[in-house]
Amino acid sequence: MNNRFVVTGGPGAGKTTLLNCLADRGYHCLPESARAIIKHRLAAGMSPRPDPVSFAKQILDADIEKYHCSGHGDSPSFFDRSIVDALYMLSSENKIGDEETAEFLHAFPYNEVVFLLPPWEQIYANDSERDQSFEQAVEVFEGMKRWYQLCGYQPLELPKACIETRVTFILKVIAELQANHGQGHHPGQ
């Protein structure tokens, strides 16, 4: 079973908090590349993001490096976004074709179940690395959901609930996947 799990969705939906909680429980969690790039650019006195294509390529390069560092063990690794997100950004700018996208998807597979955090206005807040509006966050969520499905993944929406409930939900799904590995059954079906 592929133990690389993606946590994605629109900005401000609680991904970082969720991954911090999983890390506190001892799970291997890989932070979002975009936030690190934005933070570095701001510290250097630059605009938060370069042009969209350059930004997507920087994210893709960083995510490929993280993918290689994630290991292949029996324990889950959790990614705050993934290579698939960067491919979405490039596709949105018409800078990657179907064949090249398919090559990346084949070379860098994740578990087919992707944890998708829905927009949640009550917890949404801007910060130095998140300058999108809530409406933009909803657009990103909808786009990511469609994109992951198009790429052959099964997005599984997390409940709008406290962090412990969300962590329990994820760990229960993974336990089901491990128990049913090889039997063709997937959570949410």
Domain map (residue ranges) of the chain: 4-179
Q: What is the mean pLDDT of residues 76-104?
A: 96
Taking 3-state DSSP, the helix, strand and coil percentages for the chain, each rounded to the nearest 5, stand at 50, 15, 40
Q: Where are the alpha helices (DSSP H) in the chain?
A: 15-24, 33-43, 52-69, 83-92, 98-107, 134-150, 163-179
Residue entry with tokens 């997100």: 85
Confidence of residue 120 (pLDDT cuts 50, 70, 90): confident
**pLDDT of 71 above 90:** no
Confidence of residue 189 (pLDDT cuts 50, 70, 90): very low
Structural class in CATH, domain 4-179: alpha beta
Contact call for residues 134 and 119 (beta carbons, < 8 A)? yes
